[in-house]
Every structure is written in structure tokens, then in C-alpha cells.
């Protein structure tokens, strides 16, 4: 199917991560022009042969705003944004033991960075009005079901899924009448951020025991959903959608 993404300028944050790389490759395969953000791994992003790569610490307001300035000095517009940058603490830390610094670091890396990214794009739309535009945020099942010992991550993603997505879908249409905001919620996915899970057979067993399709997702599984939601042709009447890509995960044990 032709997704009608050829020639569209797509900004992907966190493009050096597993999902970000797969998403960039998928957009390029559709003929999109990729604008790839990274924080610390330029070589990974450059290997994806983007139209433009740009470094920014998206937790920082000035750095995030400067990213948009740099992009728009080089290309005529941005048509779609994938809000993918984020982190998760690998260690299990219950709230009773969690430090304020860990809490704030996660909130800033996941939620504040998403706010700066979405705000920058909306300001661009206000400066360059058009009919259609797309934002796809990358949430997590942790924000849907919660995740014990990772409440900081779950809280940041829940705010993104339920607060930011559902608010922005009503705001973007003031700037672009056909503008859309959607959210993809991956379950366990085989990325470098999940290596502690993938290397432990018992953890894999536990993770897949609550899903109908008993496998860990690939980054490509998530990228496919992101690209679909970004397509005006295929998902033009979808906005405010919270799309789980989880293999049918539920909040209960399906396979004891």
C-alpha cells in the first residue's frame, strides 16, 4: 500500500535507539525525508543516512528550541514528528527507596522532553499553517498497566499517553485542521534498553506470560505502527488513538 509519505519531512527524536532506528528506516523506505535527533550517539544516526541529523538535550528548553531552529534553517518545513526519545532506569527501585533525583531525571527525560518537542512543532505550525500534520508519541504499556519498581517510568508514560496525547489532539486542529496526534504503546520490545530482560530467560517467560502472542516485539513491529499512524492516507481519521503494540498483553496472567 502506498502510504503517501514520499517527500514528507519527518522528525524522529531518539533516533539512535532501537525503535528510533527501525522507524527511521521504515520512513525512508516509504520515501520520506528523515530528520533524525540524537543526544549522544551521532554515528548510529549518521549510518541511517538522514537528510539531516541534529544533536540536542531535549530535557533542556534552550537545546530543544535550538534543535527546531537548526532544522528549519536547513529544510523548508516539518510535516510529522515522532516523539520517541526517552529513558528507563534498568534497576528495580520501588518508590519507598526511590530518590528525588531519579524521579526528576526520568520525568524530564520522558515527559518534559516530549512537551518541548511537541511545543516546538506546534509553534512551527503556527508560523507555517497547513491543512495536515501528525504527531506520534511513543508511550509504553507501563503507562497503561503500571510497572512495580519502575513507577517513575510508568508515571511519565501515563502522563504522555492519557494527558498529553488526548489534550494535544484538540489543540493541533487550531493550527492544522487535519492535524492528528496519536500514541503508540509498545510492550516488551527487543531493544538495547531491554537487554536486562532479553538476557534472562525467566524474565522473558514472565513478560510473555501475560500476552496472547507469546513473543517479544521487534523494533520493526513498533515502527510499522508509527509509520501507519503518520500516514494521512491510511490514518487520516485517527486522532487521539492509543494504539497498543503488545501481542495482546493484559494486566493479568494468561499462561501460568
CB atoms inside a 10 Å sphere around CB 30: 16
Residue in 79, 209, 226, 233 with CA at minimum distance from that of residue 139: 226
Q: 153 catalytic, yes or no?
A: yes
- For 188, 199, 226, 227, 232, the CA distances from 135, given in Å and listed in that order, are 23, 33, 10, 11, 11
Give the CATH fold of the 9-244 domain. Rossmann fold (3.40.50)
pLDDT at residue 181 tops 80: yes
Q: For residue 214, name the pLDDT band (cuts at 50, 70, 90).
A: confident
Look at residue 196 in the predicted model and tell me its pLDDT.
65
Question: Which residue among 153, 168, 197, 225 is the active-site one?
Answer: 153
Between CA 78 and CA 82, with CA 79 as vertex, the angle to 5 degrees is 90
pLDDT, tens only, 15-58: 999 999 999 999 999 999 999 999 988 999 999 999 999 999 99
Lookup result for grid cell 534498553: 193
Look at residue 195 in the predicted model and tell me its pLDDT.
65
Amino acid at each position: 500500500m502506498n502510504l503517501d509519505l514520499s517527500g514528507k519531512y519527518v522528525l524522529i527524536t531518539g533516533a539512535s535507539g532501537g525503535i528510533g532506528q527501525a522507524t527511521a528506516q521504515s520512513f525512508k523506505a516509504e520515501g520520506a525525508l528523515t530528520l533524525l535527533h540524537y543526544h549522544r550517539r551521532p554515528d548510529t544516526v549518521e549510518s541511517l543516512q538522514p537528510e539531516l541529523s541534529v544533536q540536542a538535550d531535549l530535557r533542556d528548553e534552550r537545546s530543544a528550541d535550538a534543535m527546531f531552529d537548526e532544522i528549519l534553517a536547513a529544510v523548508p518545513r516539518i510535516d510529522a514528528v515522532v516523539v520517541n526519545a526517552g529513558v528507563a532506569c534498568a534497576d528495580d527501585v520501588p518508590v519507598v527507596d526511590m530518590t528525588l533525583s531519579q524521579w526528576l531525571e526520568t520525568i524530564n527525560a520522558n515527559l518534559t522532553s516530549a512537551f518541548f518537542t511537541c511545543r516546538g512543532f506546534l509553534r512551527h505550525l503556527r508560523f507555517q499553517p497547513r491543512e495536515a500534520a501528525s504527531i506520534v508519541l511513543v508511550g509504553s504499556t507501563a503507562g497503561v498497566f503500571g510497572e512495580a519498581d519502575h513507577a517513575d517510568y510508568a508515571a511519565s508514560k501515563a502522563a504522555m499517553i492519557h494527558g498529553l496525547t488526548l489534550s494535544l489532539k484538540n489543540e493541533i486542529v487550531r493550527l492544522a485542521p487535519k492535524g492528528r496526534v496519536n500514541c503508540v504503546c509498545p510492550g516488551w520490545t527487543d531493544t538495547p534498553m531491554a537487554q536486562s530482560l532479553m538476557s534472562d530467560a525467566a524474565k522473558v517467560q514472565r513478560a510473555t506470560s501475560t500476552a496472547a502472542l507469546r513473543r517479544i516485539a521487534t523494533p520493526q513491529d513498533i515502527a510499522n505502527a508509527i509509520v501507519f499512524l503518520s500516514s494521512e492516507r491510511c490514518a487520516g481519521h485517527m486522532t487521539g488513538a492509543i494504539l497498543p503494540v503488545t501481542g495482546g498483553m493484559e494486566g493479568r496472567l494468561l499462561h501460568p
